[in-house]
Amino acid sequence: MRTTISHNVENPEVFKQKLLLWSQQFHEVVWLDSNNYEQTYSSFDAVLAVDAMSSVQTNHCDAFNTLKQYQSNCKDWILGYLTYDLKNDVEPLESHNFDGLEFPDLYFFQPKKLFLLKGNQVEIQYLDIVENDLKTDLKNIQQMNKSTNQQNQDSVKIKMRIHKDAYFEKVNRVLEHIHRGDVYEVNFCQEFYAEDTTINPLETYFKLNEISKPPFATFLRLNDLFLMSSSPERYLKKEGHSIISEPIKGTAKRSMNADEDLQLKTDLSQDEKERSENIMILDLVRNDLSKTAKKGSVRVVELCKVYSFKQVHQMISTVVSEIENSVHPVDVLKSTFPMGSMTGAPKISAMNIIETLEETKRSLYSGAVGYFTPDGNFDFNVVIRSILYNESNNYVSYSVGGAITAKSDPLKEYEECLIKAKAMRDVLEN
């Protein structure tokens, strides 16, 4: 059972910062922040969960059934992540590429302490075994000061896993597959990394979030493993019987000049190649959702709409469906994973090509982070625009990618990757 109180905060932004600073004493942390970005389907402005009462951790083998059992038995808030390589549980696929990060394939935990922020109100839910901590914790949160966490961080020397010429060669191989009819679209990604490197995860997150202010920002800690994400993309949300997916495909840079920026946004909305990318993935998502949907309930509510973020313009479509009471929430995730925006179409063919041409395991990149509520609702982001860090291995990584279609120009695809990578690189290189 949980003890629940509602607490009023004068300045939500200051409280959020103090809350995240306070959370660093714990070994299990999930922080989700909308950055007050206007979202049609948002339930909370921010969520913090810390300190595991129970947890589940596994590799890809039978992972979704393991999660299903854990969620069903727990009947409480659980938060955690799904890595991209859970594809190997869904389909007869394998992953043998290099992995410098070594995240478990799946991890979820039931938090002893939970904070749900909306406007000037924070709902605080503590498991009864720690309810006596509540007043003390609130006092300690208010006393937190950002300067206590700050430390000088050396500039990180970033290396490319796939150099420019090799990238062109690999994209041309993807195009050969497309022209042969093996696949319509492949989301091809490359890793940037640093070895023998120490960073301050929370300070890195603060800097990344300040640059981007995305609607699905995440700070995640699992012992010595960290995710700092400035994701703009929702993977999947369940609210009652409704399922919502908002795939992103189509990117354009921003400009400081208002007229030029508006032109860049307009050009993206009318770009034939970008629209075709988006619609291909939208069709894939519709097909995925139909596996669990009531007949005739899958519908597109927004097609190729361009949204503006601090770093980039993005083309986003929204598709919804309705499910029966009998459908388990984990089955909705399993039937749509990995998200089409990070694979391509057809999905299995695209994933096989990805495995052959990419040189590292994606790990948590292009996976998802989110939560389940006690009544089986959920909300998950897509892990993109993110920095991953294994503190014990002193290994830092971020990956970026783009959709390769028949109309792709390798040079333009490469330049789009650099646009997407800019915020992570700026943060790490100071």
Residue for token pair 């690999």: 170
Distance separating the N- and C-terminal Cα atoms of the chain: 45
For the residues 175-196, what does the mean pLDDT come to? 97
For the residues 337-347, what does the mean pLDDT come to? 95
* 151 vs 248, higher pLDDT: 248
Token digits of residue 175: 């195009």
Token digits of residue 405: 């279609």
Where are the domains positioned within the chain?
2-144+156-429
For the residues 39-59, what does the mean pLDDT come to? 94
Q: Burial level of 46, CB count in 10 A (0-12/13-18/19+)?
A: buried
Query: What tens digit of pLDDT does each residue of 261-312 get?
Result: 999 999 999 999 999 999 999 999 999 999 999 999 999 999 999 999 988 9
Phi/psi of residue 35, nearest 5 degrees: 55, 30
Q: What is the pLDDT of residue 39?
A: 75
Query: What tens digit of pLDDT does each residue of 139-148 get?
Result: 999 999 876 5
For the residues 208-216, what does the mean pLDDT come to? 94
3-state SS string over 82-143?
ECHHHHHHHCCCCCCCECCCCCCCEEEEEEEEEEEEECCEEEEEEEHHHHHHHHHHHHHHHC
Residues recognised as catalytic: 233, 249
| 173 has a pLDDT exceeding 90 | yes
pLDDT bucket at 151, cuts 50 / 70 / 90: low
Tell me the chain's radius of gyration from C-alpha atoms.
21
| 179 has a pLDDT exceeding 90 | yes
* 386 SS3 class: strand
Q: What is the pLDDT of residue 146?
A: 75
Q: What is the pLDDT of residue 311?
A: 87
Q: What is the pLDDT of residue 386?
A: 98
State which H helix or E strand residue 55 sits in: strand 46-58
On whether the 2-144+156-429 domain is CATH 3.30.300.20, my answer is no
| 191 has a pLDDT exceeding 60 | yes
pTM for the predicted model, two decimal places? 0.96
| 150 has a pLDDT exceeding 60 | no
